[in-house]
Structures are given as structure tokens and as C-alpha cells.
Chains A and B, each alone.
Chain A
Amino acid sequence: MGEIMSLIFAAKSIITMNPSQARATHMAVRDGHILAVGDASHIAQWRQAWGDMPIDESLSDKILMPGFVEGHTHMMEGLFWNYDYVGYYDREGPDGNVIAGLKSIDDVVARLSQINQQRDDKTQPLIAWGFDPIFFDGRRMNTADLDKVSTDCPVIVLHASLHILNTNSLVIEQAGVTPGDNNEAVRRDENGHPSGEFLGQLGMYMAMRTTGLDLLGAAGSAQTLINFANVARQTGVTTATDLANPVPVEAVQTMRDTVSQDSFPMRLVVAFQGGGADPQAGIARIQELQSQQTDKLRFSLVKFVADGSIQGFSARLKFPGYFNGADNGLWYIEPDRLKSLISAYHAAGIQIHIHTNGDECTDVALDAIEAALRENPWPDHRHTLQHCQMANRAQFKRMAKLGVGVNLFSNHLYYWGDAHINITMGPERAARLDDAGGALAENVPVAIHSDAPVTALAPLFTAWCAVNRVSSKGVKLGGETEKLTVEQALYAITMGAAYSLHMDHEIGSLEVGKRADVAILEADPLQVEAAHLKDIAVYGTILGGKVHVNKRGAK
């Protein structure tokens, strides 16, 4: 860097998230950190001792907030941008170009046909992603739709959730699909033939086999990382997580080289995927990784995935289980083993994040943490339950006593709220799905997340979900007790998430001494109607004092 850079940003208003100084208009930055926050006259006082600093007036009509912190995303978000986006909403790609949303299945077919026509080798697999049938009034995509795109190459359309995909009939023929009577992963039409829709891992396996593409394995490449960071940055994110990653030796150098570049616009926290059988090996690996951390790349925690998903009926539920009577879900780690894993990582002083979707799984995780705390007291561990969508007040009370935080999957309210009311949980439990209001009332530290690429990465949208609690069909889930206020939601996507990552002393608010990480907004989230929170345009971000302007913002 050489010379120490100092600069003053003048804004329309700065929401600092620092309780002792809620608002400001000016912020001085020195060497990537915040030197001063206040109004013009306040900043002038700093100039006396610290010398003259240029003022950047380019943001004088913008609202500044602490850069958003996304505490539960996956680097894989960046992988899919190598394929064609066919989602419902307009979406800004990593290159900043906006891809128009597609409002019907026919539009999706037309777009894919056009892409196919324009490419040279029409026998190569055609892969698209982001498709979401919740917007199409119950009409499902089928093989006849995708056969209109091509019958000469495999055509695969991944749904936004990544839990479902559609294929053309060539894929079904090449795979030799023979659905057993009980194979729920193969959807069938009224005649009993595969409809072209495949669920879960089975669908992903079939896609990888028929295309020969490593649809999941290329997630560690530099391009994927860059795509991921750019997509996150465009929504105001300055710190995001990859939750989790096995962090193979060969991937670390790529991560370090990529993330350390000045043009890489984000801090990345990589959680070590800790489900492996030998915790001591995992602990040693994390300690080794931690010795290689930088200000932009952290390996601060371990993650366990203890059950599946609610909408996939693989989450572990307490009585009475699933609303539709489906069998209880699956443990991804057996309770006894989870207990010994948590005990070992906790004893080594490594922060633990645990994916628990169903309430039975939440109980088991809390039992394990409680046992670990009896063995080795650790007052500020900040172990965090991820998703934790069905937690009730008794569980939140326990979490508060145990010092456990929660990172709730608020986007679920919108994406699967209707399914939770009508199919998976029934109305009572769906009303307190992702109960952020309840968690705060019980004094549990709260963050909220997208789980991107499972749902759209955009913290203001996630905040909107937690505040408005409306499903995609417009149905309310719960009310005043469960919702967050706008202030609480903004806290959750900044300080709340920073706290869950043990980074709240560095990021999450704009105050003296912290990193100069900023989300630059076109409107004041505390002034707009709560219903329009998600519509606030993001102009860009500042990371360590360096401004990154969105392509849209730059026009």
C-alpha cells in the first residue's frame, strides 16, 4: 500500500449502529479503518491533529450503513453464475449486468431455446438455474417443456432451492430411470411416468452423471469465489461466510490468492466442515488454517450439519412431527456422535455453528452444548444454532442460559411459508417459524440469513422477511410477537451477524477504530415503509475504505 490513505466520506446520513452515536453525516477513514465519525464540524477537529484529508462528496446523496454481514451463505452461490439464470426476478450477475426475470414457464423455455440456438456446439449439456415454480400457480415444468428446448442434448434446470431439478426426456432416457414404487425423489405424472422433476441428492446425482459435469465439485475455484463476492457485494454485503467447506489443502492457496487481491470486494469467513469421524484431526486442521488468516480471510469456526431440511421432510421434529403425517426426518450426525464432536471442538476452544432445522435436533444440539459446558466452562463461546427454524420459547430460554446464539433462516418465511402452513408444520408452528422476535424477547443473540444459493442473497430482503413475515402467496406467518422491528432487523444483518462470527469488535457498526466497511444505499431504511425495505437500491459498498460501485449505481 505504501502511503497511508486518509479520506473523508460525506453522506446524506450515516446509520452507524453504534448506540452512543446513532446518526452521522461524515466519516473519516485512515488505512482501512474508521478514524472519525460525526458531522462536518466534528471531522474538522480531527483534521487539526491528523492533517488535511480529502473529502469524497460522491456519496453526499447516499445513506451509509455498516456493510452487511451474511452469517450463513455458501460459496457455491458463485458456481451457478457459470450457467444461465432463469429465475422469476431480475437479477444482477457478478458482471453487474441485469438478467431479466422470466414470468412464465413458456418464457423459460423460450429463453433456453434462444441460448441453445446461439451456441456453437448444440450437443453439450445445457444447464440453467434459479427456476422457481412457486410463482406459476401450481403449474409444474415437465419434460415436454424442456424437450421444446432440445432433444439432442441434456437440458437441466435447477430450481432456486437446489432441492429440485427438471430435465428433458433425453436425460431420463440416458439415465435409464426406473422409479421404484416408493421412490419419492422421482416425481411422476398422472400416467406414472417420470414427469422430469427430480428431488434432492438423487436429482443432483443424475444431473452429474448424464452431463459428466462436476456440478458441485468446482466450488473452490477462483472464478467461483469472485462471482460469489461480486454477487454479495451488489447487495451491500462486505463480509460473508462459506458455511461450510472441507478446506482441502489445495484450495487454501486459491482462496488466499483470490481473496487477498484489492479487487476482491469482500471479507470471507470459511467454516470448517467438521462432521468427519476424527475431531482431533479437524481441530489440528483448523488451528493450522487459523495461522494463515488474513484481515479478509478467516477460518474461525467449525460447522456441523445435524439434520436435514423441513421442506424436504428430512429435518428431525418432535411430537407431533410433520403436519401431513410424513415420517420423521434424518439425522445427518447421530446424536451421540454430535455430542462427542461438540465436546472435542469446544474443549479445543473452537467456536461451533450447528445446522439444526427441526426442533428435535435443536434439543439434541443444546443437550450436547450443555454437556460440553459442564466439562469445560467457556463464558463467551458464542456457539450458534443455524436455521433453528422451529425453536420454541423454552428452547430460546435454554439457549440464552447457555450463551448460545441463533442465526435464523428468515427467507424461509417467504419461500416456503405456504408449504409450512399447509404441509410441513401446520398453522400453529408455522406462525412462529424463524421466531426472531421470540428469540430477542428471551435474550438470545439473533442474526438472520439467506443460506444462498438456497434462497436469494440480499440482506435487505432477509430483513424485510423478518419484519413483514409474509409468504410468497401473501399469507402472514405470526405477527407482532414473532416479527422484528426494522431497527432490530438492521441490527441482525450487521451487528447480530458480526457477533455470531466473533467479529463485532471489528465490523458491524461504523465507529472509531473499526474497519471501514460500508453498505451504500439509495434510501434510508429507517424512513421507508417496512413493506418496501427490500426495494431499497444498493449503490455499492466500501471495503476497508475502498469504494466499489455497482454497475447499475454507476450509470
Chain B
Amino acid sequence: MSNKVVPITIIAGFLGTGKTGLLNHLLAHAEGRRLTALVNDFGALNIDSELIAAQNGNQISLANGCVCCSIGDDLTLALAQVMNQTPRPDHILIEASGVADPARIAGFAQVDRELRLDGIITLVDALAHQRHANDPHLADNYQRQIEAGHFLLLSKTDLASAAQTQSVSQQLAAQKPTTPIAIIEHGVFDAKVLLGLNETGLLPAQAEIKHDLRQWSAHMTAPVPRLDLLNSLSTLAPHLLRAKAVLHDAEGAYVLHYAGGQSSVSPFDASPSGHFVLIGKPDMPDDASLAQLLTPQAPLPAHRQTEARQ
């Protein structure tokens, strides 16, 4: 049981909201990660045959090291089989069925010390939102998926009117004020935001933040007390999508993940790189403000210090 901990991301959303398109995009833009995607249906993925390295039974191996597995009837079995394999994938994606409760799936990470829940991404169809929210058989299910989401991605906005998109966006924001909401176009969304930064905390050289997202990074050699960092990040929560830091403080080296409004800190058993990367919405404070907020040698503003000590 000395294997590494595998982050797991659950992609939820009703039938037709674009889960498959997003999965396709993530598999094609894995940026060196070996992703394993547990999907409901290979056929729907429509993977370019040139990218397929091998196929047997319920598994397709891609040339870039990613793997797709069919869930079949039983997610329990499919996930256990992936986790019992060696080597483990770098990251597991689960395509939740259109009517699944993603929070229940997320529970698996609570009984497997080798799984870390990275987040639940819930896709919301901007065009069909009202219909789904009022469906006599599905409304409760729909709300469960939205409630469980750590990221809400609005799809089909190109087909919806601007007013419609804005209205859905406002309703979701009112319902979940601290959850990031972003627009996804044709299944394309930055893998770094959705799956986190790679395990070294470094962005690939060609890293490029698409959409209207902002990125901020720093290299910190000085110790950064983890509690201070958590407090600072919490003040950024409304603007922040992702963060990863591999730093140290008096207790030792640590790695911090922030995704979907939640931070997790765990000990890091190698020399810390000092890398610190944030990805946020366009309204994230400017670089200078971020540097002032997050860099330890800069004195914290008075009111932040008070908060930090609470």
C-alpha cells in the first residue's frame, strides 16, 4: 500500500450537457499526465482512431498514455480495478451518469487513503437549465448535482441568448456564492484549472491560460506559514479557481491544493520547489496586490493580520 495518492475528479451533469466533449478535451490535453477516465460509453467519446494505441474489452489505451475504461454496470468494481492496477494513473476522471449523485461517488475517496478527491465538476446546460430545474422527475436530482459541484461549468451558452446565460449564471451564483462558475465553450476548458497543476507544481513551458482567466505565479524560498497561506487564500475565494503551492514552514515542507473553494494541505516528502501558482477569474486582484497578500516578506495589511490570528 505504498503507492502514490491519486487525485480523482468527478464530472457530473445531465445527459446532453457536454460531459463527453469535456472528457475528450481533457484526454487530448493531458499535458503529460496519464489520465484514466472511467466513462459510461466509449462510442459516445468518438476517439480519433489514430490516437488509439490499443483496445481490449472494456479498456482503450491512448497513444499519450491516457486510458479510458468503461464503467459497465458497476462503478465500484471499475474504480477498484483501476486502483488495484500498477502503475496507477496520475489522475482519475469519473464520468458520472446523467442521474448520479456525484457526492455519493466522492464518498469513495473517504474510504481509500490512496484516493484524493480533487473536485466535482458539474456541467450546467444554459439552454436547458429552466427545463431541468422544473422537471417533475429530475428536479431534485438536478439540484443535488449543482449542490455537490465544486466547479460549475455553463455549457451551450453559444446557443443561449446573452440574457439567458446571464440569468442562469446569476441564479447559480445566488445559490452557491462561493463556488466558481465559468463558461465552457465546445468542451474546451483549461486542464490546469479543472485537474490541477502537475505534481511538481510547475506549469508546462507552453502553458497558456485560455478563456478569460488569470494566472499568477511566484517562486518563494522563504518559509510561508501554512495557516497564514490558508487564511490569505480564503480571502481570495470568490475570485480563485485553483492554487497549488509546494512550500515549507517551521513544521516542514508541504503541498497545498486549492480547488472548488476547498484547500487541502499535506506534508511533502521531498525538497520543496517553492513554486506557487494561482489561477483565478478575471476579477482576481492584480499581480501587485496578490504579491502583497501572499508573499511573506511583504507585511500583511493590518486587517488581514487580525484575521490571520483569529
A interface with B by C-beta (< 8 Å): 174-180, 182-183, 185-186, 198, 201-206, 208-209, 212, 214, 216-217, 244, 246, 248, 273, 275-278, 281, 305, 316, 327-328, 330-337, 360, 364
Partner of A275, one of B15, B57, B73: B73
Shortest Cβ distance from residue A371 to the other chain B in the assembled complex, whole angstroms: 15
Q: Does B44 contact A (CB under 8 A)?
A: yes
In the bound assembly, the distance between CA atoms of A214 and B77 in angstroms comes to: 8
Q: How far is the CB of A298 from the nearest CB of chain B, in Å?
A: 20
B79-132 residues with Cβ-Cβ distance < 8 A to A are 79-81, 83-84, 97-101, 103-104, 107-108, 110-114
Interface stretch of the complex, out of B136-144, B182-190, B194-202, B265-273: B136-144
A202-B104, A248-B57, A277-B40 given; name 15 further pairs at CB < 8 Å. A175-B111, A179-B110, A182-B103, A206-B111, A209-B80, A209-B111, A209-B112, A216-B77, A217-B77, A327-B140, A328-B140, A330-B101, A331-B137, A334-B97, A334-B138
Q: Are B41 and A335 in contact (CB under 8 A)?
A: no
B98 interface neighbour in A178, A186, A206, A337, Cβ under 8 Å: A337
Of the candidates A206, A217, A278, A333, the one whose C-beta lies within 8 Å of that of B99 is A333
Q: Mark B291-305, 1 if CB is under 8 A from A, else 0.
A: 000000000000000
**C-alpha spacing A273/B141, complex, angstroms:** 24
The verdict on B76 contacting chain A, using a C-beta distance below 8 Å, is yes
With A176-B113, A205-B80, A334-B98: A246-B104 Cβ-Cβ less than 8 Å? no
Contacting pair A205 B79 (CB below 8 A): yes
Known A175-B111, A183-B110, A335-B138: A209·B15 in contact at CB below 8 Å:
no
CB distance from B124 to the nearest CB of A (A): 16
Q: Which residue in B1, B114, B137 is a CB contact (below 8 Å) of A360?
A: B137
Task: Determine whether the beta carbon of A208 is less than 8 Å from that of B77.
Answer: yes
Q: Is the CB of A201 within 8 A of B43?
A: no
Question: What CA separation (Å) do A364 and B137 show in the bound complex?
Answer: 9
Beta-carbon contact of A198 and B74 below 8 Å: no
Chain A nearest CB from B308 CB (Å) reads 26
Residues of B within 8 A of A203 (CB): 111
Q: Is B203 an interface residue (CB 8 A)?
A: no
Question: B99–A332 contact, CB under 8 A?
Answer: yes
Which has the most chain B C-beta neighbours within 10 Å: A203, A205, A214?
Answer: A205
The number of A-B residue pairs with CB atoms under 8 Å apart is 105
Complex CA gap A336/B84 in Å reads: 35
Specify which of A174, A201, A333, A335 lies most central, judged by the most chain B CB atoms within 10 Å of its CB.
A201
B137 touches A316 (CB 8 A): yes
Q: Is the CB of A277 within 8 A of B73?
A: no
Contact A185 B107 (CB under 8 A): yes
Min C-beta distance of A359 to chain B, whole Å:
12
Does B138 contact A216, Cβ atoms closer than 8 Å?
A: no
Between-chain CB contacts (< 8 Å), 22 pairs: A174-B113, A175-B112, A175-B113, A183-B110, A186-B107, A198-B111, A202-B108, A205-B76, A206-B112, A214-B80, A216-B76, A217-B81, A246-B72, A278-B43, A316-B137, A327-B140, A327-B144, A328-B140, A331-B138, A332-B97, A334-B14, A360-B137
> Is there an interface contact between B141 and A205, defined as CB atoms closer than 8 Å?
no
- The reply to whether the CB of B28 lies closer than 8 angstroms to some CB of chain A is no
Bound complex: CA A175 to CA B83 (Å)? 13
Decide: B108 and A205 in contact? CB cutoff 8 A.
yes
Residue of A nearest to B39 (CB): A277
In whole Å, how far is A388's beta carbon from the nearest beta carbon of chain B? 17
CB–CB B80/A331 < 8 A: no
A217 to B138, CA, bound (A): 32
> B75 near A: Cβ within 8 Å?
yes
A205 CA to B79 CA in the complex, in Å?
A: 8
A208 to B81, CA, bound (A): 9
> For the complex, what is the distance from the CA of A199 to the CA of B57, rounded to whole Å?
30
Chain A hits for B77, CB < 8 A: 208, 214, 216-217
A254 to chain B, nearest CB (A): 15
Nearest chain B CB to A455 CB, angstrom units: 20
The 9 A-B residue pairs whose C-beta atoms are closest, nearest first, are A176-B113, A277-B41, A331-B99, A208-B80, A206-B111, A201-B76, A205-B76, A334-B99, A175-B111
**Minimal beta-carbon separation of B137 from chain A (angstroms):** 5
Instruction: Report whether A186 and B137 are in contact in the complex, using a CB–CB cutoff of 8 Å.
Output: no
Set of chain A residues within 8 Å of B72, measured between Cβ atoms: 246
Shortest distance between the CB of B132 and any CB in chain A (Å) = 11
CA of A333 to CA of B138 in the docked complex: distance in angstroms? 11
Which B residues are in CB contact (< 8 Å) with A209? 80, 83-84, 111-112, 114
**Closest chain A CB from B224 CB (angstroms):** 26
Tell me the smallest distance from the CB of B128 to a CB of chain A, in Å: 12
A332 contact set on B, CB distance < 8 A: 97, 99
B110 touches A180 (CB 8 A): yes
Q: Chain A nearest CB: distance from B197 CB in Å?
A: 24
- Taken together as a complex, chains A and B put the C-alpha atoms of A201 and B103 apart, in Å, by 13
* A171 to B, closest residue via Cβ: B111
Quote the shortest CB–CB distance from A220 to chain B (angstroms): 12
**Alpha-carbon separation in the docked complex, A248 to B79 (Å):** 19
Chain A residue nearest to B73 in the complex (CB)? A273
User: A276 near B41 (CB under 8 angstroms)?
Assistant: yes
When chains A and B are docked, how far (Å) is the Cα of A333 from the Cα of B100?
9
For the complex, give the distance between the alpha carbons of A208 and B103 in Å: 20
Q: Bound complex: CA of A330 vs CA of B137, how far in Å?
A: 10
| Residues of chain B with a CB closer than 8 A to A177's CB | 110-111
Residue-wise, chain B 252-283 has the 8 Å CB interface mask toward A (1 for contact) of 00000000000000000000000000000000
Asked if residues A185 and B137 are in contact (CB atoms below 8 Å), the reply is no
Which residue of A is nearest B1, CB measured? Answer: A174
Instruction: List residues of chain B with CB within 8 A of the CB of A331.
Output: 99, 137-138, 141
Taking the nearest CB of chain B, how far is it from the CB of A372, in angstroms?
Answer: 18
Cα–Cα, bound, A216→B112 (Å)? 18
Given the complex, which residues of A lie within 8 Å of B75, measured CB to CB?
Answer: 201
CB of A248 to closest CB in B, whole Å: 7
Bound CA span A328–B74, Å: 22
Contact of B100 among A180, A182, A273, A330 (CB under 8 A): A330
Chain B residues with Cβ below 8 Å from A305 are 73
Return chain B residues, CB-CB under 8 Å to A217. Answer: 77, 81
**Roughly how many angstroms separate A110 CA and B302 CA in the complex, as a whole number?**
65
Please state if A330 and B99 are interface contacts (CB–CB under 8 Å): yes
Assess whether B15 is in contact with A337, with CB atoms less than 8 Å apart. yes
Q: How far is the CA of A119 from the CA of B140 in the complex (A)?
A: 51
Which chain B positions have C-beta within 8 A of A201? 74-76, 104
Q: Which residues of A contact B83 (CB under 8 A)?
A: 209
B1, B99, B101, B112: the one contacting A205 at CB < 8 Å is: B112
Among residues of B, the one whose C-beta sits closest to the C-beta of A199 is B107
Residues of A contacting B76 in the complex (Cβ-Cβ under 8 angstroms): 201, 204-205, 208, 216
